Amino acid sequence: MSFKAAAIQMCSGVDPVKNAASMARLVREAAAQGATYVQTPEMTGMLQRDRAAARAVLADEAHDIIVKTGSELARELGIHVHVGSTAIALSDGKIANRGFLFGPDGRILNRYDKIHMFDVDLDNGESWRESAAYTAGSEARVLSLPFAEMGFAICYDVRFPALFRAQAVAGAEVMTVPSSFSRQTGEAHWEILLRARAIENGVFVIAAAQAGRHEDGRETFGHSIIIDPWGTVLASAGATGEAVILAEIDPGAVKAAHDKIPNLRDGREFSVEKIAGAVAGGVAA
């Protein structure tokens, strides 16, 4: 069965209460347009570079306002609400970058902790060390929903195609990639990476994004996007500001893509041997 999916673009600030209110307004807008699955971006609850200030307002899962709001919205609207991720305080003093999928009754159907930490130094002077504060996840899941088999990733995970391939082999028809891509890396790689993950696995990709200049000074790329299994962009947003984008998702298109290009079926085990460089007359022994 086909369903209408929405990706919510936000510009989250440092106050979780204000961000929760923005999320609620945009999710209701998406539902009013017929969306039965709505995804919000990575770090919906707060973007705050000052980690001491962030820790001062973080809550555990049971007391987090974004988790509470997501559950209430799903139940109120009778839809699936996917909080792309929010920062959750852990008992050991570290933080989880955790996504939540809520069913129409408000219950949590799935949690996903971002597996790959963004520890990079960019040419423009930006330096990120997520692993200094966040605990990496270690488990990928494919969730069977009434309308599709869904896989999960967050932002930097998109650069690790093995994660997507494993979920596609396990039956995922829709891959979700809520993100907070930096402007520099987004300009270079955002769309091409997401379209590649869709094409090479023959799946839909839904990626809600943070967008614009944030209160903490960072700048995110935006361009929330929904892509079909053939790599066609079904909907996209702009570079800045809030947005709601929608697209009809037909899981039957996944089978059609696999029938045309059966690369999941045709994958083979192989070994990799590292050998010496070429020499005159052939390959060195």
Active site residues: 42, 114, 155
C-alpha atoms less than 13 angstroms from C-alpha of 111 in its C-beta half-sphere = 13
DSSP 202-258: T-EEEE-BBEEE-TTS-EEE---EEE-TTS-EEEE--SSS-EEEEEEE-THHHHHHH
Distance of alpha carbon 81 from alpha carbon 101, whole angstroms: 6
Expressed in angstroms, the distance from the first to the final Cα of the chain is: 57
Phi-psi region of 109 (alpha: psi -120 to 50; beta: other; left: phi over 0): alpha
Please answer whether residues 81 and 110 qualify as being in contact, where contact means their C-beta atoms are separated by less than 8 angstroms: no
